[in-house]
Amino acid sequence: MATLTLRNIKKSFGATAVLHGVDLDVADGEMIVIVGASGCGKSTLLRIVAGLETASSGEVIIAGQNVTPLEPADRDVAMVFQNYALYPHMSVFQNMAYGLKIRRLPADEIRRRVDEAAKLLGIGALLERKPRQLSGGQRQRVAMGRAIVREPKLFLFDEPLSNLDAKLRVQMRAEIRQLQKRLGVTSLFVTHDQVEAMTLGDRLVVMHAGHAAQIASPMEIWEKPADTYVAGFIGSPSMNFLPATLLEGGGAVRLDTNGLILPLLDGPRAGQAGRKLTIGIRPEHLQIGHGGLDMLVDLVEPLGGESVLHGKLPDGTPITARLQGAHYVDGMMGVILPLESLHVFDAETGHRLEAGA
């Protein structure tokens, strides 16, 4: 149980820079999810915190102590690996006890801690089994148990759910979250799955090309994505982006696709008339109606209570809508863009433009 601070973490492998300076402050007991597409540097960041990788520059501070020069074992962190990394020749008990044995804890203390963790995870009956005799979910629990018995300052999760089937993943996701809240251990969780990220994290770090594109609570990220990358990455299906031009006074934009003029309800944006913008709108915010955009639907995915419609605008811009009901067919339909749901981004940099900024 501790705070974690990352200061300007940079990492290059040879000439390839993977992390370009990441700063992060994690409060005691907080669950931070690092999310991003593969190759964005999220695993590298986690491994730098664990001490498995050395940062090219920057500092890792755990509980106020600078641990940058320390070995992984001396940082008092525990890690859950994607493939669980359970030693195949050791029983579940031995696997969970191994870290404690090396730290020379007395045998009865080891027994007590392992039993306690096993009870917490519901794997008490499996302690004498070998990992190969366990199902994926059980292995996952053992890997968690191995981290819990250490009573570390920090939990590190490296995509621990990606080897599970979809149903189990949802279940384990909830369990991990409950457990983390109950134990109150500061945690870092790496995933590429945005749903996992949204549901698990107190705050998310959205990584993009070695930068932390945005660090904020899940809802904040969903409501006010910092740039077009974050906006497109978080939310399913992805946000629609439409090129647009700022009008005189900054209080409205004109969509390039059909000249539709959209007033900006929350206030004018800075910049000269003609400034190139990107207007973002989430598929679930589009509504059926006339006077907006004409969408040529070419694929309908019914999901039961709602449907996802994929299509194109007349000029070829792809557009996706998520609408209630399941009664849609291919063909032309009109959608309108509710003005309160618009996101405004700079077309060049992709950064979010707030009113007055």
Partner 1 sequence: MSIALSVDELASRSRRRQRREAFVTHLCLVLGVLIFAFPIYLTIIGSTHDVNTIGRGDVPLLPGAEAVANYSQAWGVGGGRFMGVPAGMMLMNSIIMALCVAVGKIAISLTSAYAVVFFRFPFRMLAFWLIFITLMLPVEVRIIPTIQVMVDLNLTNTYQGLIIPLVASATATLLFRQFFLTIPDEYVEAAKIDGAGPLRFFIDVIIPLSRTNVAALFVILFIYGWNQYLWPLLIVNDRSLETIVVGLTKMIGTGDAQNEWNVIMATAVLALLPPVAVVVLMQRWFVKGLTETEK
Is 89 a binding residue for partner 1 by CB under 8 A? The answer is yes
Q: Which span (59-67, 88-96, 227-235, 347-355) binds partner 1, by CB under 8 A?
A: 88-96
Cα–Cα dist 164/162, whole Å: 6
**Residue with smaller CB distance to partner 1, 13 or 87:** 87
**Residue with smaller CB distance to partner 1, 71 or 108:** 71
Is 328 a binding residue for partner 1 by CB under 8 A? The answer is no
Is 72 a binding residue for partner 1 by CB under 8 A? The answer is yes
**Residue with smaller CB distance to partner 1, 72 or 232:** 72
Q: Which span (80-88, 105-113, 119-127, 341-349) binds partner 1, by CB under 8 A?
A: 80-88
Residue 142 Cβ vs partner 1, minimum distance, rounded to whole Å: 12
Q: Which of 71, 165, 315, 340 binds partner 1 (CB under 8 A)?
A: 71
Is 103 a binding residue for partner 1 by CB under 8 A? The answer is yes
Q: Which span (58-66, 87-95, 106-114, 163-171) binds partner 1, by CB under 8 A?
A: 87-95
Which residue bears the tokens 């409060």? 27
Give the DSSP H/E element, type plus range, for residue 194: helix 194-200
Amino acid code (one letter) for 297: V
Q: Which among 225, 174, 175, 209 is positioned nearest to 195, based on CA atoms? A: 174
Cα–Cα dist 258/314, whole Å: 9
**Residue with smaller CB distance to partner 1, 76 or 294:** 76
Q: Which span (27-35, 50-58, 214-222, 250-258) binds partner 1, by CB under 8 A?
A: 50-58
Cα–Cα dist 54/153, whole Å: 20
Is 332 a binding residue for partner 1 by CB under 8 A? The answer is no
Q: Which span (79-87, 175-183, 224-232, 346-354) binds partner 1, by CB under 8 A?
A: 79-87
Is 63 a binding residue for partner 1 by CB under 8 A? The answer is no
| Beta strands at 57-62 and 65-66: parallel, antiparallel or unpaired | antiparallel
Instruction: Restricting to residues 174-213, name those near partner 1 by CB under 8 A.
Output: none
Cα–Cα separations (whole angstroms), residue 122 to 115, 116, 133: 10, 10, 16
Q: Which among 221, 218, 223 is positioned nearest to 341, based on CA atoms? A: 223
SS (H, E, C) 277-341: EEEEECHHHCEEEEEEEEEEEEEEEECCCEEEEEEECCCCCEEEEEEECCCCCCEEEEEECCHHH
Instruction: Restricting to residues 124-163, name those near partner 1 by CB under 8 A.
Output: 132, 146
Q: Which among 72, 99, 73, 77 is positioned nearest to 86, based on CA atoms? A: 99
Give one DSSP letter per residue of 116-185, joined into a string.
HHHHHHT-GGGTTS-GGGS-HHHHHHHHHHHHHHT--SEEEEESTTTTS-HHHHHHHHHHHHHHHHHHT-
**Residue with smaller CB distance to partner 1, 50 or 279:** 50
Residue 83 Cβ vs partner 1, minimum distance, rounded to whole Å: 6
Q: Contacts with partner 1: how many residues (CB under 8 A)?
A: 25
Give one DSSP letter per residue of 210-265, joined into a string.
TEEEEEE-HHHHHHS-SBHHHHHHSSSSPPEEEEEEEPTTSSEEEETTT--EEE-T
Is 119 a binding residue for partner 1 by CB under 8 A? The answer is no
Q: Which span (3-11, 22-30, 75-83, 324-332) binds partner 1, by CB under 8 A?
A: 75-83
Q: Which of 1, 73, 273, 326 binds partner 1 (CB under 8 A)?
A: 73
Cα–Cα dist 112/337, whole Å: 60
**Residue with smaller CB distance to partner 1, 62 or 231:** 62
Q: Which of 19, 24, 35, 77 binds partner 1 (CB under 8 A)?
A: 77
Footprint on this chain of partner 1 (rule: CB under 8 A): 50-52, 71-74, 77-79, 81-85, 87-90, 98-99, 102-103, 132, 146
